[in-house]
Amino acid sequence: MSKITTLFAGGVVLASIPALADTQMNNYTAFAGYTGLINTPTAEVLTKGSVDIGYNNQLDLSGLEYVDGHNYIFSAGLFDGLEVSGMIASNTMHDNLIVMKDHDQIRDLSFNLKYQVPFVPKEWFNLAIGAKDIGGAANHYETYYLAGSRQWNDFRFSAGFAVSDRVTGQMDGAFAGIEWQPLDWFALQLEHDAEAVNAGVRVTVPKEWLYDVGTLTLTSKFYSNTDYAQKDTFWGINFTMPLFTQAELNDPTEAAPAPILDNHLKREEAFAAHYQKQRELAQKPLEEAKQELSERDSFSKSLTIQARELKNALVDDGFEAISVGFNRDPHIVVSFENYVFNRNDIDAIGVVLGRIAEHIDEPEAKYSVQLLNRGMPMLSVTGQVDNYREFINTSATPDMDIRRGEMEPIGSVSWVGMPKTNSPYFKPRLTLGPSLDTNLATELGVYDFSLAIQAAVDLPMWYGGGLSVVAETEVAKTDDFESHRPFGPFAKQSGITQATLYQTFELPYGIYNQTHVGFFKEFHDYVGIKNETSWLSDNGRHQLSADIAYLEYEDYEADRDYQTLSYRYNWVEEDVSFHATAGRFFYEDSGVKLETRFWFGDSYVSVFAQDTDVQMVGVAFSIPLTPRKDMATTPYGQVKGNEAWRHTVSTRIGEEHNNLAIGKALQLDTPVSINRTLLNQGRLSSSYIYANLARLREAYLVFR
C-alpha cells in the first residue's frame, strides 16, 4: 500500500461516515507517547485532569530500528483539548553509557504536545495537531503531524500526515488506522504508520475492579511487516486516572439528595399555628399535649442556645481560635482559624457556613464569618442565613459579600463563652512528606534518586509569628548517589535543614510581609535572613511578590544573597495560573522563569521555561499527600501530610549538549510562607470562591 493510497483511503473513510456514534470509545496511549494506536496518533486527547502512566518495551533506537528496550511515558490532559507527555527511551536501565559509548545505546528524554482543534464541528470529525520530541539538545524522534479521527458505532477511523527524519520511515508521510471496540474492555487496532502495517490488541481492567481509582490497560502488538525490527511482537501497560473529581451543583449522580435544612420553616409553621392550636391542645390527652409542647419548645430556643450549639459544633469540627457572637438584629458573627482543612481553606469556609445554616434558624438573620491565620484576619464572608440555607438545599447561587482582610465592624455583639476558644498557640504542627532528588535519562541510568523523609514542625507562638524547624532522614538512594559516585555530593543528608523564627505583618492595601531568621541548609550551611513581601488583588487575579535573602556561610567567611520579583495572574474560570519571576537567584544566576500551572482541584501540572545562565524547559506537578480533612489538633499538637508536594523534571534547550544543570533559578522554600500558608496558594479570594461554589457546598455535605 503506497503512502498516497493510504492517505486517500483514510480521507474517504473520514468523509463518508454519516454520524458520530453515541457509544464512547476508550482512548489509549500509543507506544510512541501520545494518544493513539500503536505508532500513530489519533485526533483524541486525554480529558482535562487525567494522567496516564505507561511502559512498553518497543524501543525506537534513534529512528534506525525497533529493538527490545524500555519506554516510560507520563501524559496529562492539561486543558480542554491540550495533552502533554514526557517519554524516556532507553536500551537498558543502569548501564553507564559513558563507559559503553561504543555499544550503540540510547537514553533519551523527550517532550510531546498535542492539541485538538476546537472549531471543527464534532459531528464532522476531530482534528488535532501535534509535535513529538520538541526542544532538547538531541532530537532523535522529532515529529510534527496532523491527525483526524471519526467514530462510527464500535469503530474509530483515523488518518493524517506527518513529517520526521527517521531512517525507518515511521511517521514520515501519510498514516491511517482503524480501531474496533466491540466490548468496553476489549479493542483491536490496525494501522499503517507511513512505513509498515501494525496490529495490536488492548485489554482494559474495569475501573470498578481497582476501587474506582483508575483503569489499567494491557497492550500487545502482535503483528508488523516492518523491515526494521528484530522481532514483530511487543507489549505495554498503562494506568490512567483522574487527578480530582469536580464537585457539581445539582449533581444528578448523587445517590440521595442531601437532607433539607428546614428548621427555620418548621419554626415559622409552629408559631403561625400557635394560637389556633391552643384550644385544641386543651382538649387533648395529657401525654399527647406534653409531647406537642416539647416539640413546639424546640423551635423557640433562644438565640443564645443556638449560638452555643453552633460554637460546640465548630469545636467538634476541629477549628481553633473560635469566637461566636450575635446581636439583636439578629446578626451572627463567627471568627475562626483553620488547621484541619489544610489542603484548601474553601473547605473550612464551606463547613462553617453550613454549620451556621444548620444551627441558626432566626428569621432574617445575617451572618459574618472571619477567617484568621496566625491571628491575622485573612478573609470575611457576609450574607443572609436563609439565603445560604437555600443554597445548600437547592444549589441556588448564594448572595455573599466576600472580602479579603478584616470584616466590617458589627456593633453590640454578645459573645458566647470566651472568645477565641481552643487557642492555636504553642501546639506543634508536624508535617511529614517525602524529599526527593532525581536525575532522569542520564548516561548513568534511566532513573537515579535520593529519597528522604522530611519532618517540618511549625509552632505558632504569637500573633503572626512562631518557630519553624525542618529535618530530613535519608531512607533510600540508587548507587549513583552513594559517596564518591557522580551524584554523591547531591544526596540527601540526614539532619536539620532549616530552623527559623518567623514573623508576619499585615500591611495596608492588602500587603503581607514575612521574615525568617535562622539556619538554612542548601548544599552548604548558612545563617541569615529571608524576607517575602506579597500583594494580592481584592479579586485574587493579580499577585505581586518580592523575595530577598541575605545569608552567610557557617564554615568560612563569605556570604550569598538573592533578589527576585514575581507576578502571577490567575485565570480562575479555567483553573489556570500564569507565573513570571525575574531577578538574581540563589546560585548567582540571573534571568527569568515563566510557568503555567493547570489546576485540578488541589493538584496542578505545570510547564515552565527559564533563561538564566542556561536555557531550560520542564514540567512539574504538585499533589496533596494528606486528606482533605486532617486530624484535629490536640493539646500535644497535630500530625499531617504535606498538602502541596511538588516535583519537577527539566532539560536543557538551545545547545548541542544536554548536560545536567542543577540548582538553576533556585529560591529558598520555607514550609511557612505567605503564598502557601496565608493565601491558600494564591486562591484566597472572592473570584476563586464564586468559581468553586459547588465545592463550598459539597464540603459541608461531606464533612458535617
In a domain, residue 465? The reply is yes
Residue 206: per-residue pLDDT: 87
Q: Output the pLDDT for position 19.
A: 40
- Does residue 186 sit within a domain? yes
Domain boundary among 424, 453, 471: 424
Instruction: Kindly tell me if the per-residue pLDDT of 291 is higher than 90.
Output: no
Query: What pLDDT is stored for residue 671 in this prediction?
Result: 95
| Confidence label for 10 from pLDDT (cuts 50, 70 and 90) | very low
Q: Give SS3 for 299.
A: coil
- State the virtual CA torsion across 241, 244, 245, 246 in degrees, nearest 10: -140
- Give the separation between CA 469 and CA 497, rounded to whole angstroms: 8
> Which one-letter DSSP state was computed for residue 684?
-
Is the pLDDT confidence value at 107 over 90? no
Supply the pLDDT for residue 266: 54
Q: If DSSP codes are grouped into helix, strand and coil, which group holds residue 389?
A: helix
Q: How far is CA 622 from CA 11, 24, 335, 642, in A?
A: 42, 30, 30, 10
- pLDDT, residue 203, reads 96
Residue 499's contacts (CB-CB under 8 Å, 6 or more residues apart) are 468, 469, 470, 518, 519
Choose the final residue of a domain: 405, 424, 443: 424
Is 42 in contact with 25 (CB distance < 8 Å)? Answer: no
- Contacting residues for 171 by C-beta, under 8 A, at least 6 apart: 32, 39, 40, 132, 143, 145, 162, 163, 164, 193, 194
Q: Beta strands 215-224 and 197-205: pairing type?
A: antiparallel
- Mark whether 176 and 139 lie in a shared domain: yes
400 and 451 share one domain: no
Give CA separation, 281 vs 288, 293, 312, in Å. Answer: 9, 9, 35
Task: Note the pLDDT of residue 4.
Answer: 40
pLDDT tens-place string over residues 576-594: 999 999 999 999 999 999 9
DSSP string, 219-277: EEEEEE--SSBS-S-EEEEEEEEES-----TT-TT-SSPPPP--HHHHHHHHHHTHHHH
- Cβ contacts of 536 within 8 Å, gap of 6 or more: 404, 510, 542, 543, 679, 682, 684, 685
Q: What is the DSSP letter of 46?
A: P
Examine the domain organization and report whether 362 and 491 are in the same domain.
Answer: no
- What pLDDT digit, counting tens, does each position of 218-258 carry? 999 999 999 999 888 999 999 999 988 877 776 554 544 55
CATH number at 88 reads 2.40.160.40
Q: What SS3 state is found at 142?
A: coil
Residues 379 and 500 in one domain: no
Residue 99: pLDDT over 60: yes
CA distances from 466 to 85, 157, 409, 549 (A): 42, 62, 28, 19
- Helix (H) or strand (E) segment spanning residue 111: strand 107-116
Domain membership flag for residue 499: yes
Residue 177 shares a structural domain with residue 191: yes
- Residue 558's identity, in one-letter code, is A
Encode pLDDT of 617-666 as tens digits.
889 999 999 999 999 999 999 999 999 999 998 888 777 667 778 889 99
Which region among 157-171, 255-269, 685-699 has the lowest average model confidence (pLDDT)?
Answer: 255-269
Instruction: Please state the domain count of the chain.
Output: 3
C-alpha to C-alpha distances, 693 to 370, 644, 700, nearest whole angstrom: 18, 22, 12
| Model confidence at 513: pLDDT above 50 | yes
For 29-58, write each residue's pLDDT tens digit. 999 999 999 999 999 999 999 999 999 999
Same domain for 371 and 450, yes or no, is no
Residues 482 and 630 in one domain: yes
C-alpha cell at 288: 399527647
Q: Which residue has the higher pLDDT, 134 or 531?
A: 531
* pTM to 2 decimal places: 0.87
Which CATH number do you get for residue 342? Answer: 3.30.300
Q: Are residues 409 and 453 in the same domain?
A: no
Mean pLDDT of 265-275: 52
Confirm whether 683 is domain-assigned: no
In a domain, 578, yes or no: yes
DSSP letters for 596-660: EEEEETTEEEEEEEEESSSEEEEEEEEE--S-SSPPPPBTTBEEEE-SSEEEEEEEE-SSS----
Cβ neighbourhood burial of 293 (10 Å; 0-12, 13-18, 19+): exposed
Q: Which residues contact 541 (CB under 8 A, 6 or more apart)?
A: 569, 570, 571, 572, 685, 687
Q: Which CATH number fits the domain that encloses residue 439?
A: 2.40.160
175 in the same domain as 117: yes
3, part of any domain: no
Query: What is the rounded distance in angstroms from the CA atom of residue 595 to the CA atom of residue 610?
Result: 8
Rounded Cα distance between 15 and 150, Å, is: 9
Q: Which residue has the higher pLDDT, 298 or 543?
A: 543
pLDDT band at 566 (very low <50, low <70, confident <90, very high): very high
Q: Which domain holds residue 497?
A: 429-672
Assigned domain for 590 exists: yes
pLDDT, mean of residues 109-114: 89
Element (H, E) at 458: strand 445-462
Same domain, 164 and 195: yes
Cβ contact 615:652 at 8 Å = yes
Task: Answer yes or no: is pLDDT of 262 > 80.
Answer: no
Structural contact between residues 516 and 530, judged by C-beta atoms closer than 8 angstroms: yes
CA distances from 631 to 339, 354, 628 (A): 9, 20, 10
Please check whether residues 501 and 611 belong to one and the same domain.
yes
Closest C-alpha among 425, 514, 501, 513 to residue 463: 425
Burial grade of 255 (CB within 10 A; 0-12, 13-18, 19 or more) = exposed
Residue with cell 470529525: 125
The answer to whether residues 199 and 39 touch, using CB atoms and an 8 Å cutoff, is no
SS3 570: strand
Question: Which cell numbers hold the place of 24?
Answer: 464512547
Would you place residue 172 in the very low, low, confident or very high pLDDT band (cuts 50, 70, 90)?
A: very high
**One domain for residues 419 and 465:** no
Last residue of a domain, one of 424, 451, 466: 424
Q: How much of the chain, in percent, has pLDDT values that exceed 90?
A: 70
With respect to residue 357, please indicate whether it lies within any of the assigned structural domains: yes
Contact 301, 336 (CB under 8 A): no
Other CB atoms closer than 10 Å to residue 462's CB: what's the count?
Answer: 11
Average pLDDT, the chain: 88
Handedness of CA 6, 12, 17, 22 (dihedral sign): positive
Strand 638-641 relative to strand 429-442: parallel, antiparallel, unpaired?
Answer: parallel
Mean pLDDT check: name the lowest of 300-314, 424-438, 467-481, 633-647.
Answer: 300-314
